Every structure is written in structure tokens, then in C-alpha cells.
Structure 1
Amino acid sequence: MALRLLKITLVFLLVLLLAAVVWIGTIGKDLFRTATGSVSRSLCTSAFLARLDPQRTLTEEQLPLMRGIGWAIHYEVDRARREVRTSVFGDFSARAVYREGLGCLLVQGDGAVPEAAGFEPEPIASTWPANVIEPADPAIRHALDRAFAEPDPAHPRLTKAVVVLHDGQLIAERYAPSYGPDTPIWAHSISKSITSALIGILVHQGKLRLDQPAPIAAWRSPTDPHHAVTVDQLLRMDSGLPFDETDGALSPMTRMLYLEPDMAGYAAKMPLAHSPGTAWGYSNLSYLLLGRAIRDTTGGDAVDAARFARRELFGPLGMRDAVIETDATGTPIGASNVYASARDLARFGQLYLDDGVVDGQRILPEGWVNYSHSQTLDTGYGAGFWTNLVNHGRVPVWDAPWGMPQLPKDMYYARGAFGQYVVIVPSERLVVVRMGISLYYGDDTGDLVAAVIAALHRQAPARPSVAAILR
């Protein structure tokens, strides 16, 4: 009897082992490569661009997403070569290499690094003070205290930066330890709003039109269903491409960002889920294709695209620390991989508050700002920005609110994963930036902005009555 039980046990273990081998060779392989790619790129940027502690970044940003395999993650930072290599279970290695002016590039294997030298960007001047501006108003100080508080240690907020502009003036800011006014922070999907602005600049220069078919080489044939997709539809995410970001470890978004050297090429091959212009679906794919359009229109490689962004957007705004990473083909990862300081992003928000004009110079086309936060179909999304126009229903798949009902209806905002926000409130002449590594983040930014607005209203002098004026 014991021998028979042993045989059954051995057969069961053998079947389990074979199943594990098959899983690792198929789905598991892609999961592990996604994990090591994510860690390598994140820690590379932490070490060489933001100059933060890679181990702290791993602990706060990456390990909570590893779902049980964190103990098997191993990374090495090679400061001489400016690269990070990561493996899991000693295999599935991924390598990220830092390139000056271009950020970190995820490289497949030990192959050559495209544009390895990068370029030496011209310094961008800033008129803002080097020191941190503490709020003078106790109520605003209290609002910042709450933004950085950790009421639930089991679900940390990990706020890293808050910056407040009112009437174009920097009135308050605060940073977590090791962070400061010049620390580039991963903007995640705020990148989409910056990509939208770069497209706007190309429209302003007459190099693109919103109503033209998207200038994607793979879609040139009139018989291709994608040929009808316009630049406007890519910006609005109603191109017909599928909702590509889900809670699963593998999705079209993660596959594109961590497994594909030609990300826009992968996006261009994705079948349409709907006819263009008929349905909205959150689309990283669309913004990689817009990144390809920016690359192709500005010169055709990573350095040309980076110089265009610095010359036409970052430089005029004083965004000193902003970088857009690219894929191996030189395409800006316009969906997710902008790194910028909180001050940089506040300047970006101010550009929109000022209708696309900075220092008397029109950066964005006339009417572009209103276009950017005009409603797409029946959603709370515009064209690169989220709006506060819909306070019913939820974002599909995510089950998240469209807007922030505690704020004025004219508010609109750029938003990124882990609690990245650039909130623009025209009626209050207000821009609030909140950045963090917040896996467990709710409506805190709306509450922060509401508290700042309340404080500003208490500061404002009372207006005299009509009777008092006539006396």
C-alpha cells in the first residue's frame, strides 16, 4: 500500500513538474520577462537620471507588483556602463541602458544599443528660486501635511512631491526625503498629455492635421481598416483600438512596453475592436503611434525627436529636467515614459491655464487648449486630458470615477498610474501637481485641491457691496 501511494505521489509530482515547465516555456516566460524588464528600466532611471536609491525604488515601486516572485528578483547596477541587469530565478534577464538626454532604453539581450551616446542637451534656464517655497498660509500648509500623511501603513501613499501655482506664481511645494525641485519623477500617463501637446505644436507648425489619416506607414493602404483612423481619434482614444490596459500581469500594454523592441510597430498590427470614432477605449497603443508620428515628422530618430521636444516645449516652458524615453527604434514612448520634476509639470499645467502661450509666445495652436479638454463621445476624456464633465458612471474596466466631483466643473487634468496628477482649474487660476508611488490611492488629490481652493477663498479680500461703492 505504501509503495502504491509513493508511486501515485511521484506521478503527481512529475505531472506537476511537466505542467510547470510548459507554463514557464509559454505564458510564464513572458510574465518573467515583463517583470525583469520593468525592474531594469525603473531602476536604471532611478540610478542614472533621478539619482535616487535603486533599492528603495525596487521596494516601493516594483516589489509590490511582483505578486510572490519578488524574492527571486536579482538586479545589478553597473555604474561604469550605466546599465541595470535584472533576472528572476537566475534567468529571463533584462537589460536597461542609460543614454544621455534620452533616458533609459530596454535592450533585448547583449546586442548593440541604438544611439548609445545619446546627446548633450543644452541647459534650460529657470527664473524660479532654487530653494523650496514653503506655503505662507497655515491652511495650505495643513493641506500639504495631509497630502504627505500616512494614515494607513498597510496601504502607503508615498507622496513624493506637491507643487501649487496660483495666478502663475509658485506659492507652495513640498518634497519627500531624497526628492527636490529638480528630481525627475516617472510621470506615467501624464506622458499622454505631453504627447498631445507635442502633436499640437506640429499642428501649429502645419506639419500635421487633426482630420488627416494617422501618418503610420503600415496603415497607408486605403484597403486597410486602420487607414480611416485620424490623428484626432488617436488623441481621443476613439480610434477603434482595444482597451489595452487591464489589471492582468499580461495585457497589450505590458507586452508592448516590455517585450517589443518596436512598440509602435506592435501597436500598428493590433486589430481594431470597433469602427473608428464609435467607441472609447483607454489606449496606450494610440499614444505609441502618436510617438511614432512625432519621430517621423521631426527627423526620424530618437535624438531628433528629443531635440524637438526640448526646443519647442521644454525649453520655452523652463522644463529643465524633462526627458521622454524611447524604444529601440527611436520612437518616443509617448504613452507612459516621460520623467519630469513636479515643477516641470506645474509649468506644463500653467501653459494650458494660459491658453497655450508662454512669455507672449504662442506654443500651442489657438483653440488647442479647449480642444484638449472637450468631451469625447459620452466619456469624461478629452484629447490627452481627463475632464470633470461626467460625474455619473465609471471608467470601463477600471471601475474608477471619470472626474473629481468635489472640484469645479471647468477643472481638467492629466493623470498617471500610482497617483500622478496635474490638475488645472481655470476658474481659480490654479495648477496643482501631485506625484507619488501610490499603489493604494483614492480621491486624495481631489481633496487636496479642494482644500487649497478653500484656503485661497479665505485669503481673498471681501468684495465691497454695491451700496458701499455708491456711497
Structure 2
Amino acid sequence: MKCASKLLLAAALATTPAAAQDGDRYTRALAAGYKASFLCSDLFNAGQTVEQVERDDLQRTYASLEPLFPELKADIDRQARTVRVAFDETLPPRVAAWRPHLGCAQLPIGADPASASLLPRLSVDPAIDRSDRLPWPHGDQKAAAKPKGDAKALAEAVDDAFDRRTYGQGSETTAVLVVQNGKIVAERYRHDFDMHMSQRTWSVAKSISATLIGAAVQQGLIDVEAPAPVPEWQSPGDPRAAITTDQLLRMASGLHSDHAGNRTDALYFGGTAVTEQAVAWPLEAAPGTRWRYANNDTLLAIRGLRAKLEGEAKLAFPMTDLFWRIGMTRTVPETDWKGNFILSSQVWTTARDLVRLGLLYLNDGVWNGERILPPGWGDYVSRLGSAQPPAGGYGYGAGFWTFPKGSGLPEDAYIGRGNRGQYLVIVPSRNIVIVRRGYDGPGTGFDLDSFTRDLLAALE
């Protein structure tokens, strides 16, 4: 693995810009980073076209950044698999560069584009079978089965998910996949998608992170009830050293952050590193006493896991110890420029790979006779913590959500939920997994509760 710490930072800085100009410049830097990152990942992870990216991932996004996208020109090098987006006369362009199995990483603002050659790379490169010759669920042979229930009602509900009105006015569905008793009983994609085209998971990555922590627990690498092994918190007297991995997974760390929810702009689009930003926030509440949804908590749980790994495993663990073992061969977790996984959001995956994750939980953490997660890990991630979101809404376990009480949905169901309409629904009592992917925009949410109710009714 090449050392990312040798990245060269450009020294060209404006001398005395006004504060307003600085703010505008930083916003332009973020917008350029956003455009470079999504173009890079969608082109080289997912195989999408530039037109698709401009229509979907660069539309209906952040109000402060989206108006700038058209004027920021992207320079795409398909041979080198890099994207450069210029944003300022005095600084180099923002750069995102692709690497096998690790996807795209952004260079810091001001970095020399040549520094892309120094980004961390994975030396493990197995011959992954993506030929579709293997049967479902280990591979991607087409595997439609007749549902147990009302096939017509099931088909109608799936069709309605794509009509942009039944489950949300203006919603934009790209994929729906339903598995019953381990068999695919419904699968549909938007006209320009297929089963191999991936999308960003957004916060469904938090559910993936909880699963990776489970794999580490099974191997004896992590004790979730023990203090999280975050190296930056180990100075004598640091009160954050007492925060447990369980509290991080449950959004109950008590840490302050500038934004709750999914706004981690400096990391996602600004090219900073997890070990520069996420580790630096102070406490503002006693750990375990307050629920606050924050990307940093998930990032810190994975930072702690990385600290327990050695050598190549620091980069290879998600693939070698989870994804490739259960057939998630088209799932790409991305890193920052220092090699820290951005596993709060930045994972590209397919609908079929997400269903495989759900099947792992339905099988109590066992895949093809091999135990990957501890027994009962599904019960752990779906069990509500003592600190919860406001009453009346969705509940929160450890990286997974639960449906609101009184929703009429199975009480044992749990959910991976992500921005723009990414959903993974696991229903153990019905042996059903549901995945819906989309590009919903602000104010155009998808009604997951009604959709899930209709699917389950059809599969009675």
C-alpha cells in the first residue's frame, strides 16, 4: 500500500481575500469536490454515463452547491480513471481518482493533481467471478421464482413504485428487488439501469458498517461493550476514551458536531480525512444518554476497527471478511485520501448485493455453512437503545432503524435507510428481504411504510 501521507499540498494561496470571497471560494471547492467525486464513482464504479450522472446524482442535491455544478467544468481521464474539476484561479482543480476495489478518493483542497498516484491502493486482487454463471444468491444468474401469495398484487405494487406518484409525488425509483424464502420473486430496474449498475448507498452504509463490526466481533477483534479503540482518544485524561463502540453504533456517543444527520461536507466533498475531522469533536452530553444522528459516530466505530487491524487487512477487511464471502462482488467501499473508509455513506453497491446482506441476517449470520456474524447479531442491531429519536417516529438500533410503532408492519422488521430513497428492509418473521433504490430529491420522499405494507400483503 502506498503511503497517502506523502500527498503534496500546493502552496498557491490568495494573499488577502475578503471573508465573503473566502466563503464563496470554499463553497466552490465543495461543489467541485462533489462533482468530481460523483462523476468518478458513478463512471468507474457503476459504469454510468455522464448524462446519467448529470441527470441523477447532480440534480436535486444540496441547494448551496447544485447551482454551481453547470459552470464547473469536469476533465475526465478515462484511461487514468480520474476526474478533475477546476474551481479557482489560484488553486489546483479538485481531483477524484479511482482505484480497484476501493473506488474513488478525493485529494485535499489545494493538492497537486499528481498526488493521486500516492493514494492508498489494495494489493489483494483476487479473481472475482462476475460472469453471472454462479446461481443465486452466490452469483447473478437470473433467478426469478413464483411468489407465495398474490403474484398480480405484487407486480402491481412494484410497478407503482416506478410511477413517480403512488408512493411519493416526484419520487424516482431505479430498482426494486424482493426476496421471499431466499428466492427472487420480484425484480425491476429503471430503463437505464440493470442488476449490475451500482449506486451510492448513502446512509445504508451505516448498516453495512454495523455488519462489518459484527464480523470483527465474531473474530474477537472488537468488543462492542468496551471503549472504542480510537487511537486519537487515548491521551491520559481524554473523557472520550470511555465511549463504547456500542454507543457509537447507536448514535449515543454524546459528541458534538456542526451538523446532525448526513451533512459532513468537509469530509464528503472537501477532501479532509476521517482522522483529521471525525476524531476531533468534543463531548457535549454523557455517553449513552442522548440520541443524535451523526455520521461521525459511524466513522469513529470503523476508525476503531481499523486500528485493530494490521497490514493489508486495514484496507482489505470489508472485502475479504464480508463482501466477497457472501457474493457482494460489486460493492465498493470508498476511502479518504489517507485510507480511512468513509463508511457512514460512501459505498457503491447494487440492489442484489444489498439483498445478499439481508439474507445474511435472515440466516443468522451464516453464509454457505460459514459463520460470519455472531449468533443473534440481527437481534443486536435491531434492538432499540436507551437513547432514541423523538417518540412517534422510527426507532434506532445499532446501525439499523425500526418501523414506527402502530405502523401495522411486523415488529421484528428492521431497516437500512439512506438519503435519496435507499432502503433495505429485513423481515425475519416472514423470511423476506426488500430493497428499493432511488434518486428522490428534497420534498419528494418515498413512502416506505406503505410500499412495505403492500408488498407484505401481496406475499401473505
The change in CA–CA distance for 1:72 and 1:255 in structure 2 (over 3 A counts) is: same
- Given that 1:39 and 1:58 are in contact with CA atoms closer than 8 Å, whether structure 2 keeps it comes out as no
Corresponding residue number in structure 2 for 1:38: 34
TM-aligned CA deviation for residue 135 of structure 1: 6.6
Residues 1:369 and 2:378 are matched in the alignment: yes
1:209 equivalent in structure 2: 223
Q: CA deviation at 1:133?
A: 3.5
Q: Deviations over 1:60-116 (max 9, x none)?
A: 222433353333222121112111112347776311001011100101322243346
Measure how far apart 1:185 and its partner are.
Answer: 1.5
Q: Counterparts of 2:396 and 2:60 in 1: how far apart (Å)?
A: 29
- State how 1:452-471 maps to structure 2 within 5 Å: 452-457=455-460
1:113 and 2:117 aligned: yes
Separation in structure 1 between the aligned mates of residue 31 and residue 74 of structure 2, nearest angstrom? 12
Offset from partner CA, 1:411-445 (integer Å, 9 cap, x none): 11001100000001122211100011111443422
**1:127 Cα shift?**
1.9
Partner of 1:304: 313
Q: Deviations over 1:310-351 (max 9, x none)?
A: 222112211120111011111111111111110000010111
Cα shift at 1:354: 1.9
Verify the 8 A CA contact 2:45 2:332 in the aligned structure 1: no
Letter in 1 for 2:55: T
Figure out how many residues of one structure are paired with residues of the other and give that number: 419
Letter of the 1:422 partner, please give it: L
Corresponding residue number in structure 1 for 2:54: 58
Structure 1 window deviating more from structure 2 (426-435 vs 134-143): it is 134-143
Residue type of the alignment partner of 1:77? I
Deviation at 1:29, TM superposition (A): 2.5
Change (3 A) 1:117 1:308: closer
Deviation of 1:358 after TM superposition, in Å, equals 1.7
Larger displacement relative to structure 2 (165-174 or 133-142): 133-142
Distance 1:341 1:135, change over 3 A: farther
SS in 2 for 1:165: strand
1:234 aligned to 248, 258, 269, which one? 248
Look up the match of 1:429.
431
Counterpart AA for 1:279: R
| Alignment partner, residue 403 of structure 2 | 388
The one-letter amino acid paired with 1:103 is G
Task: Name 1:466's counterpart in structure 2.
Answer: none
Change (3 A) 1:430 1:29: same
Q: 1:448 to 1:417 in 2, by over 3 A?
A: same
**Contact 1:267/1:285, CA 8 A, preserved across alignment:** yes
- Identity in percent: 34
The alpha carbon displacement at 1:388 in A equals 2.4
Q: After TM superposition, give the deviation of residue 237 of structure 1 in Å.
A: 0.9
- SS where residue 275 of structure 2 aligns? helix
1:158-186 deviation line (CA, Å, top 9, x unaligned): 21111101111111101112321122221
5+ residue gaps, structure 1, are 1-19, 392-404, 458-471
Q: Which stretch of structure 1 is more off in the superposition, 291-300 or 416-425? A: 291-300
* 8 Å CA contact 2:257, 2:281 repeated in 1: no
Counterparts of 2:129 and 2:248 in 1: how far apart (Å)? 31
For residues 9-408 of structure 1, the aligned pairs below 5 Å read: 21-25=18-22, 27-65=23-61, 66-88=65-87, 93-108=93-108, 109=111, 110=113, 111-115=115-119, 118-119=122-123, 120-124=125-129, 126-128=134-136, 129-131=140-142, 133=144, 137-151=151-165, 156-242=170-256, 245=259, 251=263, 253-300=264-311, 304-379=313-388, 380-388=395-403, 390=405, 405-408=407-410
Q: Name the aligned partner's letter for residue 399 of structure 2.
A: G
Q: Which has the larger radius of gyration?
A: 1
Question: Once the 2 structures are TM-superposed, how far is the Cα of residue 198 of structure 1 from its aligned partner?
Answer: 0.9
Cα distance in 2 for partners of 1:163, 1:244 equals 36
Provide the rounded CA distance (Å) in 2 between the counterparts of 1:33 and 1:370. 43
Sort the Cα spacing of 1:238 and 1:427 in 2 relative to 1 into closer, same or farther, 3 A: same
Aligned partner letter, 1:426:
P
- Taking a change above 3 Å as real, the CA distance of residues 121 and 290 of structure 1, as seen in their structure-2 partners, is farther
Give 1:211's aligned amino acid. E
- SS class of match (2:416): strand
Question: Match of 1:214, SS?
Answer: coil
* d(CA) in 1 for partners of 2:68, 2:251: 34
Deviation at 1:367, TM superposition (A): 2.3
Does the 8 Å CA contact 1:158/1:438 hold for their aligned counterparts?
Answer: yes
Query: Which letter does structure 2 place at the counterpart of 1:24?
Result: Q
Distance 1:187 1:262 in 2: 20
Distance 1:383 1:247, change over 3 A: closer
What secondary structure, in the 3-state scheme, does the structure 1 residue paired with 2:253 have?
A: coil
**Cα distance change, pair 193–91 in 1 and its aligned pair in 2 (3 A):** farther
Q: Distance in 2 between matches of 1:261 and 1:281?
A: 22
Alpha-carbon distance in structure 1 between the residues aligned to 2:187 and 2:25:
43
Answer yes or no: is the 8 Å Cα contact 1:63–1:70 preserved in 2: no
Return closer, same or farther for 1:124/1:311 CA change in 2, 3 Å cut-off.
farther
Distance 1:284 1:455, change over 3 A: same
User: Which TM-score applies when normalising by structure 1?
Assistant: 0.83
AA of the residue aligned to 1:430: I
SS at match of 2:86: strand
Q: What is the letter of the counterpart of residue 326 of structure 2?
A: L
For residues 208-232 of structure 1, what are the alpha-carbon distances to aligned partners after superposition, in whole Å with 9 as ceiling and x for unaligned?
A: 1112211111111241121111111
**What is the distance in 2 between the residues matched to 1:218 and 1:117?**
24
> Which residue does 1:402 correspond to in 2?
none
Partners of 2:169 and 2:85 in 1: how far apart?
27
Q: State whether residues 144 and 174 of structure 1, in contact with CA within 8 Å, keep that contact through their aligned partners in structure 2.
A: yes
Give 1:74's aligned amino acid.
Answer: K
Task: Report the AA paired with residue 127 of structure 1.
Answer: P
CA distance in 2, matches of 1:430, 1:245: 35
Match of 1:69, SS state, is helix
SS at the partner of 1:352? helix
User: What is the distance in 1 between the residues matched to 2:60 and 2:329?
Assistant: 31
Q: Which residue of 2 aligns with 1:448?
A: 451
Residues 135 and 149 of structure 1: CA distance in aligned 2, closer, same or farther (over 3 Å): farther
